[in-house]
Amino acid sequence: MKLKILLLTVCFALYVLPAIAQQKTTTLEELFVDVIDKSNRYEEYKVVKIYKLNNLKKNVEDSIASIKEDLENAQGTIALQKSEIDTLTQSMSSLQTELNTSIENQDGINLFGALINKTIYKITMWGIIGLLVLVVLYLLFKFKNSNVITKAAKLKLTETDEEFETHRQQALEREQQLRRKLQDEIIKNKKS
């Protein structure tokens, strides 16, 4: 049994090792060097065996096909990446527009359907408040001034009423005295 296993291992090694050695990939440059170095000379020419030349041709064509395939894959990848870049650029542009709109909305106040910058709004509002305060102060000053004038006029009216009342009293007293005198004179004239 051990002999069979040993025999199988040796056969396997003899069969697999040359296959592994053949799988060694060679570059085109190595193939060209191999063809040139192992070709025979005839006078000043090199004689190349046809199977080596065909093998070289096949390897060159395979390499060119592989390079073309890689190039097509790369061009496809480039086109795909370019379309992704264009899509991302458009997306970034729309996001930038949305961001600018959002910043404007955040920095502004919508007043009567118009978007006004907060700074301008604050300045305008404080200006209106200041103007209203000035109007209130002006009206308060006018009211106090009118109140002072009204009080003075009322005081003068009261004084004038008192003077008038005093004058009326005096006029009434004079009239009563004159009537008494007249009555006394009439009585005196009747007796005489």
Tens digits of per-residue pLDDT, 152-171? 999 999 999 999 999 999 99
Residues 178 and 126 placed together within one structural domain of the fold: yes
Half-sphere exposure of 120 (CA within 13 A, CB side): 9
Residues 46 and 73 placed together within one structural domain of the fold: yes
Q: What's the domain range around 147?
A: 114-191
Distance between CA atoms of 156 and 163, rounded to whole angstroms? 10
Is residue 7 over pLDDT 80? no
**How many structural domains are present in the chain?**
2
Confidence at residue 154, expressed as pLDDT on a 0 to 100 scale? 93
Contact 108, 118 (CB under 8 A): yes
What confidence tens digit (pLDDT) does each residue in 47-62 have? 777 787 788 788 888 8
Kindly report whether the global pTM for this prediction surpasses the value 0.75.
Answer: no
Residues 34 and 53 placed together within one structural domain of the fold: yes
DSSP 8-state class, residue 131: H
Residues 69 and 121 placed together within one structural domain of the fold: no
Domain boundary among 84, 111, 138: 111
Average pLDDT over residues 11-35: 60
Residues 58 and 103 placed together within one structural domain of the fold: yes
Distance between CA atoms of 127 and 123, rounded to whole angstroms? 6
Domain boundary among 56, 86, 111: 111
Average pLDDT over residues 134-141: 96
Contact 109, 121 (CB under 8 A): yes
Residues 67 and 98 placed together within one structural domain of the fold: yes
Q: Is residue 143 part of a domain?
A: yes
